């Protein structure tokens, strides 16, 4: 099997791993009233002898991250030219970095290191505020996250998430509803998280920052459960993507040959 085909196969594993994380996050809210982010869900899965599961998830996240970064750099997914295509490629780069970070966290858990999910948003905000122009950077990060949240709602309303699925399932009503509910729930979580970051920047207090776990904690009953159900549906939609998403191969062999040809003899 060529390297590009192996990367595509592992990328599908990455979609499945992402789906599992969201299903766990939803399960913890609905059954235990416990709010976690993807890092916390990874730590939960690692408890009770989940080493091999973490290994598979780490491999999937690495492949997913490489695929996303390759898309940002080489337009593997053939985004249209112009501002829209540029935004999609920037989003692909951000997604790639996030999933490589999740892979790193999974490796640390495999090695027996403690997870760092609790207070991660506040710690990141504190580090940012210690830098020159940190308040402005944090405010901009919050506004960007709000924009990402709004974009999730646009995807949900237009069913654009179906465009990258195989035609055999793309227009199935149950697939549409999984995607609509899932992207809407993610959009709300991103909006709340972005508000927390912007508030932290304006107030110059890292304690005001928050990520997914803080957003879910902030929601009162029954909204926390409703959003958790939406996140569950996003997890299930990710499993659909793992099987049916149209993934353009990254030309790994061609890029490697090109890189070797430029090396000094």
Please write the tens of the pLDDT for every residue from 188-247. Answer: 999 999 999 999 999 999 999 999 999 999 999 999 999 999 999 999 999 999 999 999
Please report which helix (H) or strand (E) contains residue 255, including its range: helix 252-261
pLDDT in tens, the chain (265 residues): 577 888 999 999 999 999 999 999 999 999 999 999 999 999 999 886 688 999 999 999 999 999 999 999 988 888 888 888 888 899 999 999 999 999 999 999 998 875 555 567 888 889 999 999 999 999 999 999 999 999 999 999 999 999 999 999 998 999 999 999 999 999 999 999 999 999 999 999 999 999 999 999 999 999 999 999 999 999 999 999 999 999 988 876 665 555 455 556 5
Q: Is 256 a member of any domain? A: no
Helices marked H in 75-172: 83-110, 120-129, 134-158
For the chain, the domain total comes to 1
150, 189 Cβ separation under 8 angstroms: no
193, 211 Cβ separation under 8 angstroms: yes
Please give the structure tokens belonging to residue 97: 């970095």
Q: Is 105 a member of any domain? A: yes
Structural domain of 53: 3-251
Q: Is 142 a member of any domain? A: yes
CA separation for the pair 202, 148 (Å, rounded):
20
Classify 247 in phi/psi space as left (phi over 0), alpha (psi -120 to 50) or beta. beta
The model carries a pTM of 0.91
Please give the structure tokens belonging to residue 134: 């940190």
Q: Is 31 a member of any domain? A: yes
Number of neighbouring beta carbons within 10 Å of residue 98: 16
- pLDDT at residue 4 in the model: 82
Residues sharing a CB contact under 8 Å with residue 35, sequence separation 6 or more, in sequence order: 28, 29, 212, 213, 214, 216, 217, 224
């Amino acid at each position: 099997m060529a390297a590009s085909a192996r990367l595509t196969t592992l990328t599908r594993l990455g979609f499945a791993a992402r789906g599992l994380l969201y299903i766990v996050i939803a399960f913890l809210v609905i059954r235990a009233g416990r709010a976690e982010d993807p890092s916390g869900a990874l730590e939960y899965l690692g408890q009770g002898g989940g080493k091999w599961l973490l290994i598979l998830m780490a491999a999937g996240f690495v492949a997913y991250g490489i695929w996303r970064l390759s898309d940002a750099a080489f337009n593997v997914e053939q985004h249209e030219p112009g501002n829209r295509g540029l935004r999609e490629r920037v989003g692909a780069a951000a997604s790639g970095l996030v999933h490589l970070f999740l892979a790193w966290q999974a490796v640390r858990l495999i090695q027996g290191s403690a997870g760092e999910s609790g207070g991660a948003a506040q710690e990141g905000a504190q580090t940012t505020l210690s830098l020159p122009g940190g308040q402005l950077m944090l405010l901009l990060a919050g506004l960007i996250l709000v924009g990402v949240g709004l974009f999730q709602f646009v995807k949900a309303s237009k069913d654009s998430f179906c465009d990258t699925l195989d035609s055999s399932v793309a227009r199935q009503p149950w697939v549409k509803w999984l995607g609509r509910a899932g992207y809407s729930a993610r959009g709300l979580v991103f909006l709340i998280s972005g508000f927390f970051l912007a508030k932290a920047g304006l107030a110059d207090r890292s304690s005001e920052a928050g990520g997914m776990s803080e957003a879910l904690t902030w929601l009162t009953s029954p909204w926390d459960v409703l959003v958790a159900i939406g996140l569950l549906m996003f997890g299930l939609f990710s499993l659909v993507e793992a099987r049916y998403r149209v993934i353009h191969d990254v030309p790994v062999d061609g890029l490697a040959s090109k890189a070797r040809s430029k090396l000094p003899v």
